[in-house]
Structure 1
Amino acid sequence: MKRQRGTGRTAGVLAAAVCAALALPGGARAAGEGGGYAFDDQARRVKGAVSNLDAERLTAGQSYRDTIKKDGKLYYRVDLDDKQNAYVSVVAVPKAGAKAGYSDGIKVTMQDGSGTDCGHQSVNFGGFGFARPIAAYTHRTIDPDSSSCQQVGAYYVLVERTSESDGSDWELELRYVTEPGLRKTGPTALPETWASGTPQPPAGGPQRRDGGAGFHNATSLRQGEWRTDIRPGQTMYYRVPVDWGQQIFATAELGSSPAADAYVGYALTVSLMNPARGYVDGKDLSYDGDPSTLALDPQRPVAYENRFSSNDSTSGLRFAGWYYLSATLSPEIAKAYGDKPLPLTLRVNVTGQSKPQPAYDGPAGPFTVTDDDREAAASGQSGPQAARSGTLRVVGVAGIGAGTVLVLGLGAWWLLARRAAGAGPTPG
């Protein structure tokens, strides 16, 4: 009887392990398979309100899903103290193949109870001519020199959509995170000089690393040259750990094609987003079948005082953590070059020595770079930021595949059951 009870416990553990393996992101199939955006599988459904007083409350550290109609305006609520900085990001995901005008896009604003604008960001599709996932954020920043938006109370996040060309609904992915305040006030002035020259391309030659289909499963990169293939209409996501005092540089090269020599404007766009998923910079290139290269503008080193800059790109480099790169290939490429993927190379440089983090009055949360982050970047791990620490190493079955885990688990359970019943071990 003791053996039988032990076997039951073992079988329960094995069954739980198999279920856990099947539940892992990517365990059954890759998120965003088929070219679509990969939403956070832990996101909760929320319904934005047309009036701020009816807005649902968002919880820090949680992701949400919603839908916005053409020319829609949606309100959400966050309750803030007078010590922490708050960030709410919105990823707008139109339907695949939707057309978009130059000014079509989204605007995200945070307001206090009196309607004062605490911070906003607008992002549009530019001259691309078609819709793709775009991200913007808003924030309430603690500023000792400001009297507005510093009080304890209810604040409201307003998401506005402008769309002249696409009448279909857009899906939204929202995320609310907080950053601790400082134990003591630090400098607010930006350094007058900084290294603005583009470094030499990283050494070592290209290595294969395919991108994820969303922020949630973005593929980790360190400094290096990274090779992939991208299909017309596809958007790939990568993330790079950038510490305090460091700079990130990125270039993208679209390889040649023998299929045709037709000219396609706005063929590839590459964007840089910060750890709060706020837009920092973006560039695009045209393509005529020959190799074509773009480079993101040189940016200042990551520093706390960057947040006090009036320049949006500089202000976005306000904290350490995972910085995101997205690359989108225009669906117009398919008309001239077919629906086959084109070769794409990303070259990433991270320069500068890491500096100590500011005197945060509490854990930095996602706004730091850990040894586990650097290890994830070196090995190319993908998945949610919550999968920091040794979790990825402990649950190594994720790399085996759910089917293999299931077979091994059932085989082990069967063998234990035979032993418990008095049967000898089975060869093989």
Structure 2
Amino acid sequence: MIRTQGYRRPAALTLIAAVLLAGLSIAPAQADPEPGDNGKLVMVLDSSGSMKEPAGDGQTKIVAARTALTRVVNKLPEGAQVGLRVYGATVFKRSQPGACTDTQLTVPIGTGNRPQLLSAIAKYKPYGETPIGYSLQQAAKDLGPSGQRTIVLVSDGEATCAPEPCEVARSIAKQGIDLKIDVVGFRVGAKARSQLQCVAREGRGDYYDADSTIDLEAGLDRLSTRAFRPFRLSGTPVEGGPQQEGAPVLAPGLYSDKFGAEKVAKYYLVKRTIAGSTLRAGVSFRNPAGGSDVVESKTQLSTIEGDDCGWSYPHNYGSDEGLATGVASSWKETQDECATADQLVLTVSHGDKQLVATPFELRIDEEPPVSTTTGLPDEAEEPTWKSMPGSTPREIVPGSSFPDAPLLSPGSYKTTLMPGEVQLYKVKVDWGQRLQAQVSVPQLGAAMGKAFDGIRYLDVNLISPTGDEVYATFAKGAPGGAYKKVALTSRGTVHGVVSKEIRYLNRTGANSYNTGTSQPGEYYVLVSLSKKTQAPQPFAMPMTLTVGLQGTAGAGKPEYVDGAMPVSGDSVTPSATPTDEPSDKPSGDKTEAGGPVQDSGSSSSDDGTPVGLIAGLGGGGVLLALLGAWAVLRLRNKNAVATAHPASYPQPGPYPQPSGWQQHPNQPNHPNQPNYPNQGPPQNPQQGPAPR
């Protein structure tokens, strides 16, 4: 959130609110938590005498903290498992008995305890000593021995009692990877900062410094909604077979699974429900920490006899711990078994030990054959950027994965972007339309510019409904140049990307930005900012995202054989054990190619929290934004089960070039613009039976 210098709420207000609600989301993970496990949080608050000191804006630290806590608690869902522990609240001097064990669980961890929390906060006053280490020991006991557990420590100084907090944090961390300690240092000196940073580091959490700068305040109001939000999967859990024989039979739908052992494939049988249709299988997953930027995984469709129908190496977005996606399509230029077989074999494989047991999402779409291609527009030409009218940006909470990406209508949106973060948004794009996305970053202030530390890379990309990379490589006039990734300094930038117009015959093209724009649906805008391991200080950079749709909706819409309609993976709910005779009837308006583009200017989260309400509410908007994290947590929890197949995996450097593929003569040799596609060879515009 961007604020003027005249609106200077104390950083602690935003900071404490941010980190408290951050703790309410589960710890970083690669998949959904177990059903019913939304995590437990205990807030450990400093009530020492130094909290009487000024907060920098005419208020005392204790007033700022009390105000923030009250607002946070009033926004908590009823199901939040929260407790409150206060230290230094009852014994005035260290020389008095009990001063170094002066910590009380004023509100036990539980749900539905909002009145008790508010009452305890109202009584929260500065008083005694700072027994941080002992308070942390007791907080770990409050949380119990299992589940996702978070301690949020808020302190304005160093410990004045034994035991040493850093040693305590190290001991607590041994209780399990699902327990972490996040720390807020509120206007602390160098010695206290060093001690508190050690607590966060040894406790596998994060340290946040509230120094009352406007840049830090603007950043921390967003950390709560995204920093600890896990990558999420959707879909019915299914387990791929170790071989083709006996593999589960899948109809079009959305599924989840896990990669198997290194270089061991998982197999599925994909059943056609429409004669002569094109089947597309999209796989997406979070690249594990420490994994390579080049993803050693392959998604392939083939006939029962083993003939190749289409393949893809997933593309990784956002570097380390980025989002990887890939799509295999059965559509081919000639009519063969790939177009006519009742079943195809889907193989998902990998050759990287880092991917073992990594959950992935599997989406299967089915598109009927067309009656004729006569009269359909030719493959779209390279697009030319069209200026988009400015508008007052609405505040938006971005998604961290496909299931929680907010649906945007054309317009401008403001948010913040953190180093290493991958943000996702979706936009409905119809036949005859093309998608434009522009990210604007203003010149950063001195404090944030220092945290920014030199040059970073901003990545803006477009992804198809099934997971193809579809930004147009040779677009003309795009702000910042035609590349998806640009160097970014503290001076800011304006950068735009654009897709080709959605046309049926785009499938004749050689690259994914052609083939991926051959069907309408919900396209994704992905934004990420590179992270520096040498500069781990968290910050949130303000940015504005503007999206627009150019062209005439519905233009060039094909007629499918016998009036059949496409079935997309997210428009059906497959059974946990797919039947041999899945329904070929589409459900919901998402199956209608060329249907209306929904205006989601007031779209809501899955639990009914209206994202649009955040805009224009000033400081209160911060707290509503914080609820975005809870909206994600309340998405359905799905167990993710998963796969793999030994194949020729891509190695660092160029991917293998499919037979018949030729590099565009004007394609630049740019480190951010690879000279290769990541999919199998181009295939034929006429699917299934010969056109009538």
What TM-score do the two structures reach when normalised by structure 1?
Answer: 0.71
Contact 1:214 1:237 in 2 (8 A): yes
Alignment of 1:47-196 (within 5 A): 47-80=239-272, 82-95=275-288, 98-125=289-316, 129-141=319-331, 145-163=334-352, 166=354, 169-182=357-370, 184-187=371-374, 191=378, 194=381, 196=383
Q: CA deviation at 1:324?
A: 1.0
What residue is the counterpart of 1:362 in the other structure?
564
Question: Which residue of the partner structure matches residue 308 of structure 1?
Answer: 508
**Structure 1 residues 70-117: Cα deviation after superposition (integer angstroms, max 9, x where no partner):** 44432221122533221211112234xx12334234321111112222
Rate the CA distance shift 1:292–1:34 in 2: closer, same or farther, 3 A: same
Shift of the 129–279 alpha-carbon distance from structure 1 to 2, 3 Å rule, reads closer
Deviations 1:261-287 (A, max 9, x none): 53345x332331212233323822333
Distance 2:338 2:470 in 1: 23
User: Is residue 235 of structure 2 the alignment partner of residue 37 of structure 1?
Assistant: no
Aligned 8 A contact 2:431 2:520 in 1: yes
- 2:552 corresponds to which residue? 353
- Equivalence for 1:344: 543
Unaligned runs of 5+ in 1: 1-21, 385-398, 402-428
Provide, for residues 15-44 of structure 1, a one-character-per-residue CA deviation record: whole Å limited to 9, x for no partner: xxxxxxx9xxx996899882321222xx22
Distance 1:119 1:75, change over 3 A: same
> Residue 441 of structure 2 contacts residue 492 of structure 2 at CA under 8 Å; is this kept in 1?
yes
Distance 1:82 1:370, change over 3 A: closer
Given the alignment of the two structures, is residue 227 of structure 1 paired with residue 227 of structure 2, yes or no?
no
Q: State the Cα RMSD in Å.
A: 3.3
CA contact (8 A) 2:262 2:355 kept: yes
In the TM superposition, what is the alpha-carbon distance from 1:161 to its structure 2 partner?
2.3
Deviations 1:195-217 (CA, angstroms, capped at 9, x unpaired): 72111133213221121222112
Identify the residue that residue 287 of structure 1 maps to in structure 2.
488
The 8 Å contact of residues 107 and 120 in structure 1, kept in 2 or not, is answered as yes
Residue 453 of structure 2 is aligned to residue 262 of structure 1: yes
Change (3 A) 1:280 1:214: same
Distance 1:383 1:138, change over 3 A: farther
Contact 2:395 2:415 in 1 (8 A): yes
Q: In structure 1, the residue corresponding to 2:415 is in which secondary structure? A: strand
Change in CA separation of 1:140 and 1:167 when aligned onto 2, cut-off 3 Å: closer
Provide closer, same or farther for how the CA distance between residues 106 and 189 of structure 1 changes in structure 2, counting only shifts above 3 A. Answer: farther
* Alignment size in residue pairs: 349
Deviation per residue, 1:225-244 (Å, 9 max, x gap): 22111233322211111111
Q: Deviations over 1:306-354 (max 9, x none)?
A: 122223211110111111112233332x743721222232222210111
User: Structure 1 residues 68, 340: CA separation in 2 closer, same or farther (over 3 Å shift)?
Assistant: farther
The code of the aligned residue for 2:501 comes to P
**Gap regions ≥5 residues in structure 2:** 1-37, 39-76, 81-223, 472-482, 568-589, 608-624, 628-692
Q: CA deviation at 1:248?
A: 0.9
Check whether the contact 1:142–1:181 (CA below 8 A) recurs between aligned residues: no
Which amino acid in structure 2 is aligned with residue 214 of structure 1?
S
Matched, 1:323 2:523: yes
Give the match for residue 681 of structure 2. none
Residue identity in the other structure for 2:506: N
Q: Say if 1:220 and 1:381, in contact at 8 Å, map to a contact too.
A: no
Distance change >3 Å, CA 253–CA 49, structure 1 → 2: farther
Structure 1 residues 292 and 162: CA distance shift in structure 2, 3 A: farther
Identity value in percent: 20
SS in 1 for 2:345: strand
SS of equivalent to 2:505? helix
Q: Aligned letter for 1:287?
A: L
CA contact 1:100–1:125 (8 Å) conserved in 2: no
Instruction: Supply the distance in 2 between the matched residues of 1:60 and 1:323 (Cα, whole angstroms).
Output: 19
1:69–1:294: structure 2 CA closer, same or farther, 3 Å change rule?
Answer: farther
- Give 1:56 deviation, angstroms: 1.7
The question of whether the paired residues in 2 share the 8 Å contact of 1:260 and 1:289 is answered with no
Cα gap change, 1:163 to 1:286, in 2 (>3 Å): farther
Partner Cα distance (1:34, 1:193) in 2: 41
Pair 1:370–1:167, CA change in 2 (3 A): closer
Relative to structure 1, is the Cα distance of residues 124 and 141 closer, same or farther in structure 2, using a 3 angstrom cutoff?
Answer: closer
- Structure 1 residues 202, 364: CA separation in 2 closer, same or farther (over 3 Å shift)? farther
Name the SS for the 1:305 alignment partner: helix
Letter in 1 for 2:525: L
Task: Give the structure 2 partner of residue 240 of structure 1.
Answer: 427
Q: C-alpha distance in 2, partners of 1:329/1:261? A: 11
Instruction: Judge conservation of contact 1:76–1:156 (CA < 8 Å) in 2.
Output: yes
- Is residue 309–residue 338 contact of structure 2 (8 Å, CA) maintained in 1? yes
Kindly indicate whether the alpha-carbon contact (under 8 Å) linking 1:246 and 1:351 is maintained by their aligned counterparts in 2: yes
Pairwise CA distance, 1:251: 2.3
**Bigger Rg, structure 1 or 2:** 2
Distance change >3 Å, CA 91–CA 229, structure 1 → 2 = same
Structure 1: distance between partners of 2:345 and 2:226: 31
Paired residues for 1:384-399 under 5 Å:
none
After superposition, the Cα gap between the structure-2 partners of 1:31 and 1:346, relative to the gap in structure 1 and judged at 3 Å, is: closer
User: What is the rounded CA distance, in whole Å, between the counterparts of 1:186 and 1:67 in structure 2?
Assistant: 39
Q: Which residue of 2 aligns with 1:378?
A: 601
2:270–2:344 contact (8 Å) kept in structure 1: yes
1:212 aligned residue:
399
TM-score (norm: length of structure 2): 0.46
**Partner in structure 2 of residue 409 of structure 1:** none
SS at match of 1:39: coil
User: Do the aligned residues in 1 keep the contact of 2:470 with 2:499 (CA within 8 Å)?
Assistant: no
Say whether the 8 Å CA contact 2:452–2:490 is kept in structure 1. yes
